[in-house]
Chains A and B, each alone.
Chain A
Amino acid sequence: MANPMQQFEVKTIGPKIVFGNFDVSFTNSSLFMVITVATISILFTLATQKKSLVPSRIQFLSEMTYEFVAKMISETAGSKARPFFPFVLTLFLFILFCNMIGMIPYSFTVTSHIIVTFALAAFVFIGVTIVGFAKHGLGFLKLFVPSGAPAILLPLIIIIEIVSYLSRPISLSVRLFANMMAGHAVLKVFGGFVVSLGVIGGWLPLGFSVALTGLEFLVAFLQAYVFAILSCIYLNDALNLH
């Protein structure tokens, strides 16, 4: 039977390119990232080609996406976060399209690799920290000192707060990666059951496969949404110190 983890293998496409100690060859993962970016660009270029007052379907879709993300930012991070709208929209669309393109049979799910999700999360984390320091200077360190804490406990509390802050990129990246990888592995396992149980017993796992595919589409959207909204919440912490 086919190995359920085989679908996550990264294969090199074309010649092997090495920069110093790093292997930077073009892989199937990079190919699907390029496909994702190209799909988003083409879709939104087409959508904004004919701007009419009564929108066509594709224009309506892009306007809906825009409004969805704009609303998400203003609700969680307030009006001060407006300048970061392009970043959050890009992040949301990239993850959403990676997840959705991964649902096509025989394709590759970029977000099922922790290094990809961790890179995204680390980018958000470092960016938010820089924004915080740029906005408040050293006053940003007040984030680690909760108001009203007794002075004796402060050293301990500060360490705990710092650990809690540092754990953000880990939890952010592990959540997306675990959801995508687990979902795809489970789909493959149930697919394997269908084949091995044959015509007689295979109907039950086939039904499960269909139901799980539906669930996976939900998870694909939900995880992109969660990633984007948590980025907004972290941005809110950096912009408006509480």
Chain B
Amino acid sequence: MEIKEIKEKVKKLKDELKSKELKKEGSSSMGIALKMGTEFVAAVFVASFIGFHVDKWLQTTPIFIIIFFIIGSVAGILNVVRSSKMINKD
């Protein structure tokens, strides 16, 4: 009888601990927002950098930087979607 009670209590406490841990992880939404921001900007930055240098090399000034800017935006969205998937998985 007593052992059963203790087992129930342990189960209850464990569940409580689990829900507390989940809350803790979700609390740093500011960090998540900042992560997404850098993730997006970094891709745009890298792609534009590549486009700029391809233009400089081929002397076709606005064309490749525009193309790579768009590609960078797409890659940035891809990065954001991937990292949000990772957050949802946890």
A positions within 8 Å CB-CB of B: 156, 159-161, 163-164, 166-168, 170-171, 174-175, 178-179, 222, 226, 233
The answer to whether B43 touches A163 (Cβ under 8 A) is yes
The answer to whether A167 touches B46 (Cβ under 8 A) is yes
Given the complex, which residues of A lie within 8 Å of B47, measured CB to CB? Answer: 163, 167
The answer to whether A171 touches B72 (Cβ under 8 A) is no
The answer to whether B45 touches A167 (Cβ under 8 A) is yes
* Residue from B50, B74, B79, B86 within 8 A of A171 (CB atoms): B79
* Residue from A160, A163, A166, A175 within 8 A of B35 (CB atoms): A175
Question: Does B38 make an interface contact (CB < 8 A)?
Answer: yes
Question: Does B28 make an interface contact (CB < 8 A)?
Answer: yes
Chain B, 68-90, contact with A by CB distance < 8 Å: what is the 0/1 string? Answer: 10011011101100000010000
Question: Does B34 make an interface contact (CB < 8 A)?
Answer: yes
* Residue from B34, B45, B50, B79 within 8 A of A164 (CB atoms): B79
The answer to whether A163 touches B75 (Cβ under 8 A) is yes
Given the complex, which residues of B lie within 8 Å of A167, measured CB to CB? Answer: 39, 42-43, 45-47, 75-76, 79
For the A-B complex, the count of residue pairs with Cβ-Cβ distances under 8 Å equals 55
What residue of chain A has the Cβ atom nearest to residue B72's Cβ?
A: A163
* Residue from A163, A168, A233 within 8 A of B50 (CB atoms): A163
The CA of A156 and the CA of B71, in the complex, are separated in Å by 8
The CA of A175 and the CA of B74, in the complex, are separated in Å by 20
Q: How many B residues face the partner with a CB closer than 8 A?
A: 22
The answer to whether B38 touches A164 (Cβ under 8 A) is no
* Residue from A156, A159, A175 within 8 A of B38 (CB atoms): A175
The answer to whether A163 touches B34 (Cβ under 8 A) is no
Given the complex, which residues of A lie within 8 Å of B34, measured CB to CB? Answer: 175, 178-179
The CA of A175 and the CA of B50, in the complex, are separated in Å by 21
What residue of chain B has the Cβ atom nearest to residue A218's Cβ?
A: B28
CB within 8 Å of A: which of B37-69?
A: 38-39, 41-43, 45-47, 50, 68
Given the complex, which residues of A lie within 8 Å of B72, measured CB to CB? Answer: 163
The answer to whether A160 touches B46 (Cβ under 8 A) is no
The answer to whether B28 touches A164 (Cβ under 8 A) is no
Give the distance to chain A from B1, nearest Cβ to Cβ, in Å: 36
